[in-house]
Structures are given as structure tokens and as C-alpha cells.
A and B are shown apart, each in its own frame.
Chain A
């Protein structure tokens, strides 16, 4: 695929859509309980007005606009408006604390910020002294901002009004600036919330994004009539590809949910045809399904579990290439009529033609569960540096333990150390103002992914773990922590887990319970608790988690290479791992180095002989204040499971 010069930037593509698909819905937002629609013509017009408003404030080519907020049409328009003027949008995570926000706004040298509401305005006003280049903060929702008198503030409506006046004197300003743009301009800077060190600004050009998006559209057969739900953070490259780049390249419709809390009901109303979720969302959907089933009458429960077992067995056989007995195939339509169909309908997944999971490895059990319902879930592998897209499962060639085959135009090879390297049209232009990091990641045109993996005989890419996380126990047994953690996390009761074992005699785990699922479980058993910390330390909960760990050990015992990495001791943490405490990233990747340091006392205790440990932990509240929590944590042992007897 190549980029034509008439359509070599996103603004030009939007203008083309406004011509070709002028009456087709480009984006919807649920507001005041109703799905409000905007056509491609409106998309272009609104973005153009914002661009004119920015121009009236002196926006010049190369200026950066920080964009902060939930997924809102206005913020997508702000991205397009910035690009129309040859500027560079810098989307930020809406739940960033001030320190992160200040770093990125300052590092990106943003002169403009376009944000959703008072919450973001407050944060920006507080960090403004540390960001000397920041001149204007534009907000969409004026609520609560009535008495703000800061001269740098203006509403989006005012900005567009300024744009109207500016257009009277400079009618062709936006069109002229658009014409000056080209495929190799930087289209966006996505700051990655790395698991180590300060965030890095990944620069992607229009060419990168148009080709990466276009190649995936071609391979996956995406159409103009797709519907997607834009609910993942705009700062994340995945959302930028699915809700912006691909939507503009094909013309399909993006739907913005009413609020973060309504995503699941909005999902049901929209019933997207094309859906993307990281493993944690799939997990939480599965958890909510399982909780509701446990609350049902026993006969329904039995029926549902029997149907699930049937479908999952079939799917497992299919994925591993084994034949499916005829009688199971005969029973499946019954299950579809009574269980799978209604369930999919309830989840808003009835119309899904393709769904992806990415960002982290997904537990095989979770993957099989959704596929067995007849939802075409596939793994996708990519990262910000590759415009999100490296490999995808091809329809009809989905495997349990791979992330699919490389997309068109992507070359993958494995370095001698076992690291995955790739080269593609989507490969980024470098990290903003960080040539050192760029050199490390982008050696001679190949991106060093930092993931350990290999290509199998059929060209499928398999990921083992982060290259730097794969290590060995004291007796040289290979230890891939994430693999064990994912197995633990399949349990609806385990939200997060951190496995430790490098250079140690055996593996131990720090576990986060799922407050909703375990809370519900406790209530059904009349187990009283007051708080998360209290619930986590109940003896009954420890037994529950012990059972889950034992399940993981049993499955590890079946695999010769992994038998030695069974979890022997564990404890349940008194607090949830939280990005505000820097324990996990905003995309929920575990920051092992930091955790090892912060919880050194706990880890030492896990390798000691005691059955409890005292801890004094620092917590950061959402407003940036810190406090501390003191707790006495139990440590529990789990028996190792011997290898199954040879048959």
C-alpha cells in the first residue's frame, strides 16, 4: 500500500470523507441520555473551526497541543484541528497526576491545551508555572468554571467563535495550511508510560499511521459500516489507531460512551462490529458474567456451566487442530439458542465481526471463553513504536499461544538473544528530544521490541515475556513471571499478581484480590468485612486464594519445563496496585523493579519462615497527597504438585 499525495495527511483524508461520505455518521456521543450524531461533514467543519480559533491565537506550524480528557468528539476534532494547522497533538492520560502532566506538557513544549472539563483545567492551571511555554487552556465543558478569571482560559465555544471571526478575514487559512502538510510531518506524539524511567514521546508521522492503519484495514477487511466504541484512553496509541486513524481511513463510525462508568451499558446499546479491549477488560467482563451466574438459580447455573464446558472444549480442540466429535457439534446450536446468543446480546457482542486483545498476554482460559461463545476474538501484537500494529491472528488461523502472523509490510526477526525485532512502514520517527533512547530502540531500521519470543514453523509469532523479565531460579529453571501471573489472573478473584523468583529457590507471589468479586463472594457467605484491606486478610479469603494458587500449580505440573516454577508461598496485598503509586503503569503493566524495591520487606518475608509480616505502605491519593497504611499480612504456603504419573 502507498500513500497518495492528495490523501497523505489525516486532515486531507477527513476533507475527502466530508466530500465522499458527507451524510454518513462519523462520530457519536451519548449525551443527555441520547446518542448524538455528527456526520463527516460536521466532523470536518467542527475541526476546521477549532483550527481557525487556534490560528487566531497565533498557532503556527510545529506548535503542540496537549489534549486531555475522556473520549469526546470535541477532543478528536481538536486532534484533527491541530493537524490541519501543521501542529502536533499530544494526547495525555486523563487520570495523570500533576507530576506526570507537568513533565509531559513541559517536555513536549505544548503552547496550547484543549481539555474536557474543570478537573483537567484545575490540574493544568496548577502545573502551568512549571510549563513556561503553555499559553492557552481551552475547555469543552464549562461547568464549575464560571468564576475562573485566568486570562489563559477560554471555552471551546469561544474558541470556535473566534475562529468564525478569523475566517472572515482569512477565509482560506486552514485550506492553505492543510495543503502545506505532507506525509512525513509528525502526526502525533504519544508518550509511553514506560515500566522504567520517565515517559518517552514517540513521534509518528502521517505516513506511519496511514500505512499501518491501512494495511490492517486491508488484511482484516474492515469496512465503512463498522461501528467501534471509543472508550480506551486517547493517549494510548491503540485508541488513536482504532478511533482516529482507521476510522478516517475507512470512514467508519466511532462511538463515545456517556461516561467511564457507563461503558458496559453503552457497549450493549451500540453493539459494535469491531471491538478492542485489553486483557483486563476481557477479564472484568468475564468476572461480571461469572458473578451474575453465581447469583442465578441452581438449575440455570448448571445449564450455563454445562453449555460453557461444551463450547470451551470444542474451541480448545479447534484451536489445537484436534477433531471435534459430531455429537458436540450437534449440541452447540442448542447452547447457542439458550446461552451463548442471549449472553452475547447482553454483553453487546452479538454483532462483533472481529475483536482484538492486546497490550498484555491474555490468559488462555479467558481467550477460549470468549471465542467459545462465537465471538471472533483475536490476539494483536504491537506497540506505540510500531503505530500499534505488528502482528494479528488471521481469520481462520487463530492459535491459543501465539499473537498471529505479521501484518502486510511488517518484517519480523529474532535477535541472537531471543529478542523480537521488526521493521515496518509504521515504525516511528524517534523519541521526541531523546536521541539516546531512539538509538537504543531503533538500531539500523529495526525496532528492538524488548520482548522475548520466537517465530514458529507456520510463521506465527510467540511472545514469552518481556525480555528483561525472563530469568532463572537459583537452580537454573527458566522463570517467566508474567506467564504465571496470567494463569493466576484467570481466577475471577485475582485482580493482579506479581510473581517473584529470580535467583531464588522457589517462586512466590504477591496477590491483589478483585474487590468486587471477592466482596460478592464474601457477602454470599456472610463473611463480614469493612474495607479492602480487611477483606484481603480474612482467613476465608486466604483459603479461597490458596485454592486458586493450587489450581495454577496443578496446571504447571503438567508442563515439564514449568514444573519447577510452581508457587510455594504467597500473600495477599493490603492495597490494590495503583498507577498513582507508580506500582503499575497507566496501561496496567507491572513495574517489577519498583515493586521489588517498595515491597522488599514482604518479599524477604516470603522467603523467610514466618507466617506473617508487618508492612507500612505509602499511598498517593488522587489529588496527589500521600498517606500511609499499616497492616499485618499473613503468608500462606501452597503444596507443590508432583508430575502427573506417566500414562
Chain B
């Protein structure tokens, strides 16, 4: 059997006396959508930051395709094919949507500064190839109309979509989405769900997302991991997690029946 795309093994993260994560293990299967849920402060974003290399675990290991990647830096993790979006939108506000998405191609670009400045020869061919990839993503996410709009001027829901576009531009194998639907209205959420499912179906991208909207989580994920106070309290199919007593008590509130 081939190794899963990503394995988090017994990872703990401590900031001084505070234990943000405590011996958390999870597996991301290739081509699947995994949701991480839990109350505020449960350690969800910390877990994402550990996976993407922003933090390094105090204990435990992270394996990418069976190989130990525990201490890689964010650029190296990105090089492996991991891209992410942020809980608070982190776009270049003054730059156009197109340019923002082009920055997602940065890792794939190599060329001399001089040739690029002159926009000549291989640099030009490379730029056109990257632009073609980006245009396909723009088409995919249906943001043609805002191609040239400065990102900062867009409504929040569209900024989230542009962030997703930028992450996709890196052609990731694993996409980490930190609350992709936070602050959206119902219609925007439905759109975002459709895009996430389409990305998964069309490109086969594995997706790990943090989300608070339970109906979204139950609808789109193949598997759900529940964190509470830095510990994993459940891990399984959405319909099982939904009925899990520990989860109901900790996260969904104690049921009244």
C-alpha cells in the first residue's frame, strides 16, 4: 500500500506553559477532503500552521508521503506541493487580482532578473505559460470580471475566492483552507462549497479545511477530525462524528433529548 499523502504523528506544540496541541495524530488520504472542527482555541489553526511549516512541533513527527518532513520551513513545504489560505484574508491589497494570483506561481518561476525585466526570450515564454495556468484558474473560479480590479476593493467573499485562486496557482497536491467560509452569506458559502468540491473533483487535490459551519462540514468532507483543548477527541466519517457523544458535549453543546 502506498503511504498516505500526509501523516501527523503524536504532534504536540507548546508555547511556554501553554499547550496548544497535545499528541495529535491524523492522516490525510490522497484526493480526500478532511475537515478539522472544534471550539475556539481548540488548536485548529495551530495544527494548520504546523503542517505548513510556520510552527515546528515540540514533539511528534510529520510525514509527507511517508517521508519525515517535521522541520521544513514554509517555502520548503510549499515546494512539496502544499498551499494554503488564511483565516484573515492575506492578499496584496493594492495589486490587481491577476497579479495576486500570479504571485501563486512564484515558486514555479525561474529566470534571470534581466531577461524578465526585458520580457524577452525564455522569460517571455515562461510568463505566457504561467499566465495561461492563471487564466484557467480565473475561468474555473468565475472571477473573469474582476481580473484587473485591485484586490483591496473587492467585497470580502470575493477576496476569499481570490485567495483560493492564488493557492490553486501553485498547483498544490494538498490545499489547506483556514475557515474559507467565515463571514460569508449563504449564497457565497454555497458558491465556495461548489468550488471546493470542484477543485477536489477536477484536479484531484487533497483538501484539509477548518470550518465552523457544521452543515458545510457535513456536506463536503469525507472525514472529520474534532479538536478540543488541543486534543483530538474524534476522527471519522461525518455521520459518525455527528453522533459522537464526546463531540456533542464539547462542541455542538450538550443535547437536550
Residues of A within 8 A of B (CB): 31-34, 143-144, 146-147, 258-259, 261-262, 265
Contacts and interface: CB of A to CB of B under 8 A. Distances in A.
B107 interface: no
Nearest to A34: B135
B114 interface: no
Interface of B: 131-132, 135-136, 138-140, 142, 144-145, 147, 194, 198, 201-202
Nearest to B148: A265
Contacts of B144: 33, 258-259, 261-262
Contacts of B145: 258-259, 261-262, 265
A31 B136 CA distance: 9
17 contacts: A31-B139, A32-B139, A33-B131, A33-B135, A33-B147, A143-B140, A144-B198, A144-B201, A146-B201, A147-B201, A258-B144, A259-B142, A259-B144, A259-B145, A261-B144, A261-B145, A262-B144
Q: Most A CB atoms within 10 A — which of B139, B140, B194, B198?
A: B139
Contacts of A143: 140, 198, 202
A289 B135 CA distance: 29
A31 B142 CA distance: 12
Nearest to A146: B201
B138 A33 contact: yes
**Which 7 A/B pairs are nearest by Cβ-Cβ distance?**
A261-B145, A32-B135, A33-B135, A262-B145, A258-B144, A259-B144, A262-B144
A32 B198 contact: no
B141 to A, nearest CB: 11
Nearest to B98: A33
Given A32-B139, A33-B131, 9 more contacts: A32-B135, A33-B138, A33-B147, A143-B198, A144-B201, A258-B145, A259-B144, A262-B144, A262-B145
B62 to A, nearest CB: 31
A32 B202 CA distance: 17
A265 B146 CA distance: 10
B201 A32 contact: no
B107 to A, nearest CB: 22
Nearest to A259: B144
Contacts of A261: 144-145
Contacts of A265: 145
Given A144-B198, A259-B145, A262-B145, A32 B132 contact: yes
Contacts of A31: 139
A34 B138 CA distance: 12
Interface of B is mostly: helix
A32 B136 contact: yes
A141 to B, nearest CB: 9
A136 B186 CA distance: 34
Contacts of A259: 142, 144-145
A120 to B, nearest CB: 15
Contacts of B136: 32
Q: Most B CB atoms within 10 A — which of A32, A143, A258?
A: A32
Contacts of B138: 32-33
B115 to A, nearest CB: 23
B191 to A, nearest CB: 12
Nearest to B139: A32
A72 to B, nearest CB: 13
B22 to A, nearest CB: 39
A261 B158 CA distance: 14
A359 B45 CA distance: 55
B195 to A, nearest CB: 10
A258 B147 CA distance: 12
A302 to B, nearest CB: 27
B200 to A, nearest CB: 11
B207 to A, nearest CB: 16
Nearest to B138: A33
Contacts of A146: 201-202
A146 B197 CA distance: 12
A34 B135 CA distance: 9
A262 B97 CA distance: 15
A146 B204 CA distance: 12
Contacts of A144: 194, 198, 201-202
B58 to A, nearest CB: 42
Contacts of A258: 144-145
A142 to B, nearest CB: 9
A31 B132 CA distance: 11
A32 B194 CA distance: 21
B203 to A, nearest CB: 11
Contacts of B194: 144
Nearest to B190: A623
Contacts of B202: 143-144, 146
A143 B202 CA distance: 7
Contacts of B201: 144, 146-147
A261 B139 CA distance: 12
Contacts of B139: 31-32
B205 to A, nearest CB: 14
A262 B140 CA distance: 15
A33 B136 CA distance: 9
A34 B147 CA distance: 12
Contacts of B142: 259
B13 to A, nearest CB: 38
Contacts of B147: 33
Nearest to A621: B187
A124 to B, nearest CB: 18
Contacts of A32: 132, 135-136, 138-139
Q: Most B CB atoms within 10 A — which of A33, A144, A147, A258?
A: A33
Nearest to B142: A259
Nearest to B147: A33
A265 B202 CA distance: 29
A389 to B, nearest CB: 32
Nearest to A622: B187
A262 B149 CA distance: 12
Contacts of A34: 135
A34 B194 CA distance: 26
A33 B201 CA distance: 24
B38 to A, nearest CB: 31
Nearest to A258: B144
Q: Most A CB atoms within 10 A — which of B132, B138, B145, B198?
A: B145
Nearest to A623: B190
A155 to B, nearest CB: 14
A29 to B, nearest CB: 12
Contacts of B198: 143-144
B31 to A, nearest CB: 13
A478 B137 CA distance: 58
Contacts of A262: 144-145
A272 B238 CA distance: 54
A147 B202 CA distance: 10
A258 B194 CA distance: 21
A262 B201 CA distance: 27
Contacts of A147: 201
A174 to B, nearest CB: 32
A259 B144 CA distance: 7
A143 B137 CA distance: 12
A642 B157 CA distance: 51
Nearest to A145: B201
B102 to A, nearest CB: 12
Nearest to A265: B145
B220 to A, nearest CB: 14
B66 to A, nearest CB: 29
A295 B100 CA distance: 27
B8 to A, nearest CB: 29
A265 B144 CA distance: 10
